[in-house]
Amino acid sequence: MRVLVAEDNPIFQVILETLLRDWGYDVVLVSQGEDALEVLQAADGPQLAILDWFMPGMTGMEVCRRVRAGVTSRYVYMLLLTGRSQSGDVVSGMEAGADDYLTKPFNAQELRVRLYAGRRVLTSLGRPQQEVCAQPACP
Amino acid sequence: MDQLKQDLGAKFVVDLVHTFLDHLAATLTVVAAASATGNLGIIAKEIHSLKGSSRQLDVEVIGTICEQIEILAKENKLREVQLLIKRLEEESKAVRRVLSAYIEGLSDEPPVQ
């Protein structure tokens, strides 16, 4: 499955790209919010996205807002990954349209299972309920 | 870092530490220039990024100083920020020594089969 990673920090770029490839994802990496939006707007764009909050230009939160405003043709499951850890930040991020929220520093295994939860949601949007429930909890 | 080593292997961690040390050096250069001109906006942005990297790699001493700088920069306290940047530069030398020794030890480990 393809996943978009929008992150400008070189350390998080390396960690995320390596972990995700190790878990079997095809990674599309960008470092600016505008580029993230362009990738997600493509007809065959990824339906799973990890977005940093602070990036040059458009923030991850703004990307969430625009995606939810309907600029993509398919549902995109978006996870905000950010150093902002106040509960007010979580509320703002999810009100902007993020499906999930993970704070930095992050635990790799926590990210793995949260992404899998996202995949279950995406699957449930495209399959009958019974089929979704029959899936294993995690690979 | 130990968890990353377990998940992705020692070679990955060695490469990651090199990337971090490059990031640290580049940030210090930009921040020093911004400090000289009093550009607190650039300082806050760069330091925020370094804070995230440091804490992800358990380099808490750098993460803590970065957090303090970020707060003071947003409060427009240039003099205090400049003093902390000097401290950051000093601590970075020690961190570089420690991390270099750490990856030297990792490089001697046999690769995971």
* Residues in B touching A107 (Cβ below 8 Å): 3
Q: Give strand pairing partners of A28.
A: A4
A16's tokens: 């995320």
Give me the DSSP letters along A9-32: -HHHHHHHHHHHHHTTPEEEEESS
B79's tokens: 């003099």
- Whether A108 sits inside 8 A of B7 (CB atoms) is yes
A1-51 pLDDT tens trace: 999 999 999 999 999 999 999 999 999 999 999 999 999 999 999 999 999
- A105 three-class SS: coil
Looking at CATH, the fold of the domain delimited by B9-106 is given as Four Helix Bundle (Hemerythrin (Met), subunit A) (1.20.120)
The ipTM (two decimal places) reads 0.88
- Whether B4 sits inside 8 A of A108 (CB atoms) is yes
Tell me whether B88 touches chain A (CB under 8 Å). no
d(CA B6, CA A130): 37
Contacts of A46 (CB under 8 A, 6+ apart): A1, A2, A3, A4, A28, A39, A40, A76
Tell me which DSSP letter residue A67 carries: I
Domain boundaries, chain B: 9-106
Looking at CATH, the fold of the domain delimited by A2-133 is given as Rossmann fold (3.40.50)
pTM here? 0.88
Domain boundaries, chain A: 2-133
Tell me whether A106 touches chain B (CB under 8 Å). yes
A51-95 pLDDT tens trace: 999 998 899 999 999 999 988 889 999 999 998 778 888 999 999
Q: In what order do the strands lie in the sheet with A2-6?
A: A26-30, A2-6, A48-52, A77-82, A100-103
B25-81 pLDDT tens trace: 999 999 999 999 999 999 999 999 999 999 999 999 999 999 999 999 999 999 999
Return left, alpha or beta for B23; rule: phi > 0 is left, psi -120 to 50 is alpha, else beta: alpha
Tell me whether B49 touches chain A (CB under 8 Å). yes
Taking CA atoms, what residue in A is nearest to B56? Answer: A105
Residue with tokens 């707060």: B71
Nearest Cα neighbor of A46 from A89, A3, A90 is: A3
d(CA A19, CA A111): 10
Identify which of A15, A83, A106 has the shortest CB distance to residue B51.
A83
- Region B77-103 average pLDDT: 96
CB pairs under 8 A between A and B: 51
CB B13 within 8 A of CB B106: yes
